Amino acid sequence: MTSSNCGVTTLRLDSQTERASVHLLPCEIEYDGAAEVSQFFTATIKDRKHEKTVSFRGRGLKGQEVICPQGYSGLVLREVNKPGSDQEDRNVKVSSVFQKFTYWNLETLPNSDDGIVMAMAWPDLADAVSVLHFLQ
């Protein structure tokens, strides 16, 4: 316990970053790594009348764009030079940035009750709840 609490992870900001198109899917894909996203997925997205549709593995998805709250940015962090033991300090870098992403529901129309939409309200409220404000 003691030793594992010591470990710090440095967020290195010196690295080059790229903008990435980001999609949150309504399924768990048991895979991490390269995929032909633009060829198979992005190319088949239909964007009609404010309604985005696409299909994945034969299942119909409906999507909506989500924009980062003001003063916030989307980052993809990646661990670099992963240490051999959990005693050592770790390093992550920003590998890509985004200002918006698309989240997809399985068949149902995206709406304000969706978990991710509700979660996006957190930064705004966090400001009031937990931020250091100078009173008077």
Partner 1 sequence: MTTKKKRTPHSQNDRWVVIAADSAVEPAKKEDSDPTFVRLRNPSTDAASLYLLGSGDGQLYEVKAFNEDFHSWFIGQTVQRDGRLLFVTPMDPLYLLLPYLIKASKEGKFQPVEQVVMDEDFPACTRLLSCTRALASLHHVAEEKDVGRQKFHRYSQQRTLDWLQKKAERTVKALRKRDLSVGEGVKSSTYVRVKHEPEAQAEDFLRYAHGLLSEYISEDLSRALHKHLQLPEISIPKAAEPPSKKRKLSDQPVEAGDDYTKFNSHDFARKNLLEDSANVRIVTCHPVLGSSAVPSDHSATQEDECSSEDPGKGRQNRDEEHVCLLQPQGQSGKKMSLRMMSGKLFAFCAFDINKK
Partner 2 sequence: MDLSEFEADNSVSCRLASAIPDVCKTQDCCLGIDEAGRGPVLGPMVYGICFCPVSKKEDLKNLKLADSKTLTEEQREDLFLKLDEAKSFVGWALQILSPNTISTSMLQRSKYNLNALSHDAAIGLVQFVLDSGVQLKELFVDTVGPAAKYQEKLSQRFPGVEVTVCPKADSLFPIVSAASICAKVARDHAVKSWTFPEDMGELDTNYGSGYPNDPKTKAWLLKYLDPVFGYPQFVRFSWSTAQTLLDSKAVPVHWDDDEEDGEKAAARQNNTSMLSYFKASAQQSDSRTPHRFFTERRLQSLHTL
Please state, in angstroms and rounded to a whole number, the distance separating the CA atoms of residues 10 and 25. 29
State the residue for tokens 């304000």. Answer: 112
Q: Which of residues 16, 37, 63, 110 is near partner 1 by CB under 8 A?
A: 37
Q: Residue 95's binding partner, choosing from partner 1, partner 2, none, with beta-carbon cut-off 5 to 8 A by kind? A: partner 1
Please state, in angstroms and rounded to a whole number, the distance separating the CA atoms of residues 78 and 75. 10
Furthest CA-CA distance within the chain: 59
Please state, in angstroms and rounded to a whole number, the distance separating the CA atoms of residues 127 and 15. 29
Q: Which of residues 19, 106, 109, 124 is near partner 2 by CB under 8 A?
A: 106
Q: Which stretch binds partner 2 (CB under 8 A): 16-24, 55-63, 65-73, 93-101?
A: 55-63
Residue ranges binding partner 2 (CB under 8 A)? 4, 9, 26-31, 35-36, 38-41, 43-44, 46, 55-60, 90, 92, 106-107, 115, 118-119, 121-122, 125
